[in-house]
Amino acid sequence: MESILSALYNGEIMPAEQCAARNRQYRELQREHCRHYEDFIQDLNRRDPSLAQKFIQIMDEQLERLPDEGERSFADGFRLGAKLMLEVFRAE
């Protein structure tokens, strides 16, 4: 059996992909939010297409930052787990 660290290094374990919500209510809430977003974009397009494009650009900028935030959160969680393990082993 391959070690977890080797699998992580070789890309066989992808924590970011495993964070997907498994809760049916949460997935439905996400779909509803997507529908609201699409409805809002259509409404903006009807009123002022340039405003719709500006809003999409702003949202895209926000979404570009999410992977960085996820990576930082993962690293912070990993560090906390490592510190916890160190504390456990020191207690023996």
Higher per-residue pLDDT: 44 or 66: 44
Predicted pLDDT at 45: 95
Residue 22 has φ and ψ, to the nearest 5°, of -105, -5
**Per-residue pLDDT for 51 more than 90?**
yes
Residue 92 — very low, low, confident or very high, per pLDDT cuts 50/70/90? low
pTM, two decimal places: 0.54
Region 28-44 average pLDDT: 94
Higher per-residue pLDDT: 70 or 1: 70
Predicted pLDDT at 33: 93
Q: Is there a contact between 43 and 36 (Cβ–Cβ < 8 Å)?
A: no
**Tokens describing residue 16:** 């970011």
Length of the chain: 92
User: Whole-angstrom Cα distance, residue 20 to residue 75?
Assistant: 17
Contacts of residue 20, defined as CB under 8 A and 6 or more positions apart, other chains included, come to none
